[in-house]
């Protein structure tokens, strides 16, 4: 049995970042991957998603400018867009695997624990002084009759031909983003939402405004509705809802959430504690077993499951394991976004949570009167900011075509807490853009 200083299970953003750092130490390192090398983000997640959104956002922005300087709106050609997307992304898993093979040893297959420090891959066993679990999340699959006729987000991101009618089951950011993309290309879209709102975790007021805008573009929302069964009807698929209603479509997407990849790990063999939320870790990212750690989406930490968070944890664990840093992990201000059209983005304290809390003051700004937003015909662009008792900016949420970029301008402001005097002395952003208005948002 071969022994390693470090074994990393999973090659997504968390594992990749950590492997790059550890490979430079001269210590022995084994990377284990049973799926796509590179994980979800670069293959079937954020990278191809943002690639598709470039064309979709451009087309939708042009459509809202008809009569305001644009004579002919752009149209999304889904089949052509997907052909270009595949030409760019299909080679990435093999390319990532080649990068790993230059950095360290590689075992292709799913790793499973034999004991606390022994991993088995395809019948071969490996001992690791330190083992890091970074196997991430995967799409949740509904356990209903006819589930074999459902597709997931991975399928949509490789969908060669646009369906005429698609139904999405779910109201999270994956469902809303992908539904926006297909609808922009001309697909009729219905969404089954099990609760009374979409995008939980984002500002509820802006989530409802997104519903209003998407509805105006032809998407149909069915709230308090779930799928109870799916059946094949000729070449189409019929969904029966909890209300007994039936919807027949060409394509049905199960976007009911994501779940941690724990089943194949055989964690109980090592005594590692976990739950349906993921693997439990302490504030040093160590599991219930000494010398075994978990980073990225696989953990049960109550933080957004984002590539940026995964890479932050990889950096932190490297400093701990190699440099001996023993400070507990403290998460910084984290920016999040749903890349639909319009976008919703936020950072810091959610205005919804602050509204009835005497510690905070919530102020909304209508951005549509600014020349930049008016030039895009962004009639509903809004920014809500949250101040604490010391008049420090501690939260921000925005809805608008450029919400993600705008909120990114405020992430360092919320995180670093500059005074208005410090900002004025040290920063002079480009004008006109939201960044040049930050000074006006600072109250101290």
* In a domain? residue 334: no
pLDDT in tens, 121-139: 999 999 999 999 999 999 9
* In a domain? residue 68: yes
* In a domain? residue 329: no
The pLDDT, as a whole number, for residue 167 is: 98
CATH of the domain at 239: 3.50.50.60
* In a domain? residue 170: yes
From 232, 256, 280, the end of a domain falls on: 256
The pLDDT, as a whole number, for residue 423 is: 94
Indicate whether 151 and 198 sit together in one domain.
yes
The pLDDT, as a whole number, for residue 433 is: 84
Indicate whether 81 and 218 sit together in one domain.
no
Indicate whether 301 and 353 sit together in one domain.
no
Indicate whether 265 and 385 sit together in one domain.
no
Q: Pick left, alpha or beta for residue 391 (phi over 0 → left; psi -120 to 50 → alpha; otherwise beta).
A: left
Indicate whether 296 and 371 sit together in one domain.
no
Indicate whether 184 and 135 sit together in one domain.
no
Torsion 87-89-94-100 (CA) sign? positive
pTM of the model: 0.96
Indicate whether 101 and 119 sit together in one domain.
yes
- Residue 42 has phi, psi (to 5 degrees) of -80, -15
Alpha-carbon span 210 to 380, nearest angstrom: 10
Indicate whether 113 and 243 sit together in one domain.
no
Indicate whether 171 and 152 sit together in one domain.
yes
Residue span of the structural domain in which 31 resides: 2-139+259-323
From 225, 256, 287, the end of a domain falls on: 256
- Residue 231 has phi, psi (to 5 degrees) of -140, 150
* In a domain? residue 93: yes
The pLDDT, as a whole number, for residue 33 is: 98
Q: Please identify every stretch of the chain with a pLDDT value under 50, giving residue numbers as ranges.
A: none
Per the structure, how many domains does the chain have? 3
Indicate whether 427 and 360 sit together in one domain.
yes
The pLDDT, as a whole number, for residue 435 is: 85
Do residues 18 and 24 make contact, with C-beta atoms less than 8 angstroms apart? no
Indicate whether 105 and 90 sit together in one domain.
yes
The pLDDT, as a whole number, for residue 196 is: 97
* In a domain? residue 336: no
* In a domain? residue 19: yes
Q: Can you give 132-175 as a three-state secondary structure string?
A: EECCCEEECCCCCCCHHHCECHHHHCCCCCCCCEEEEECCCHHH
The pLDDT, as a whole number, for residue 432 is: 86
The pLDDT, as a whole number, for residue 193 is: 98
The pLDDT, as a whole number, for residue 148 is: 98
The pLDDT, as a whole number, for residue 307 is: 97
- Residue 169 has phi, psi (to 5 degrees) of -100, 105
Query: Beta 251-254 vs 165-169: how paired, if at all?
Result: parallel
What is the DSSP secondary-structure string of 236-262? EEEEEETTS-EEEESEEEE-S-EEE--
* In a domain? residue 330: no
Alpha-carbon span 337 to 313, nearest angstrom: 20
Indicate whether 155 and 237 sit together in one domain.
yes
The pLDDT, as a whole number, for residue 434 is: 83
């Amino acid at each position: 049995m071969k022994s390693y200083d470090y074994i990393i299970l999973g090659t997504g953003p968390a594992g990749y970042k950590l492997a790059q750092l550890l490979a430079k130490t001269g210590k022995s390192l084994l990377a284990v991957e049973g799926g796509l090398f590179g994980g979800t983000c670069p293959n079937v997640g954020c990278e191809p998603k943002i690639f598709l959104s470039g064309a979709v956002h451009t087309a939708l922005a042009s459509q809202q400018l008809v009569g305001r300087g644009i004579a002919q709106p752009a149209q999304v050609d889904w089949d052509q867009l997907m052909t270009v997307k595949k030409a760019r992304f299909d080679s990435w898993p093999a390319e990532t695997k080649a990068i790993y093979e230059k950095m360290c040893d590689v075992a292709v297959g799913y790793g499973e624990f034999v004991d606390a420090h022994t991993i088995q891959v395809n019948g071969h066993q490996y001992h690791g002084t330190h083992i890091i679990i970074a196997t991430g999340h995967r799409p949740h699959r509904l356990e209903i009759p006819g589930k074999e006729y459902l597709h997931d987000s991975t399928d949509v991101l490789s969908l060669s031909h646009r369906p005429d009618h698609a139904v999405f089951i779910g109201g999270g950011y994956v469902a809303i983003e992908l539904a926006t993309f297909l609808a922009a290309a001309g697909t009729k879209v219905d969404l089954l939402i099990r609760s009374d709102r979409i995008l939980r975790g984002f500002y509820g007021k802006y989530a409802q405004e997104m519903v209003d805008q998407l509805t105006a573009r032809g998407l149909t929302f069915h709230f308090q509705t779930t799928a109870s069964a799916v059946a094949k009807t000729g070449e189409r698929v019929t969904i029966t809802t909890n209300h007994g209603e039936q919807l027949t479509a060409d394509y049905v997407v199960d976007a009911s959430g994501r779940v941690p990849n724990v089943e194949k790990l055989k964690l109980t063999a090592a005594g590692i504690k976990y739950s349906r939320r993921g693997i439990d870790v302490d504030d040093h990212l160590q599991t219930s077993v000494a010398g075994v750690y978990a980073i990225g989406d696989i953990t049960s930490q109550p933080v957004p499951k984002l590539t940026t968070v995964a890479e932050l944890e990889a950096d932190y664990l490297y400093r701990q394991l190699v440099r001996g840093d023993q400070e507990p992990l403290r998460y910084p201000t984290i920016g999040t976004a749903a890349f639909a059209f319009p976008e919703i983005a936020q950072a810091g304290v959610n205005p919804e949570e602050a509204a009835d809390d005497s510690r905070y003051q919530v102020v909304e700004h209508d951005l549509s009167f600014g020349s930049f937003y008016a030039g895009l015909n962004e009639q509903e662009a809004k920014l809500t900011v949250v101040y604490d008792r010391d008049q420090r900016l501690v939260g921000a949420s925005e809805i608008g075509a450029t919400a993600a970029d705008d909120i990114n301008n405020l992430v360092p402001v919320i995180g670093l807490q500059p005074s208005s005097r410090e900002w004025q002395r040290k920063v002079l952003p480009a004008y006109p853009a939201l960044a040049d208005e930050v000074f006006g948002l600072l109250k101290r």
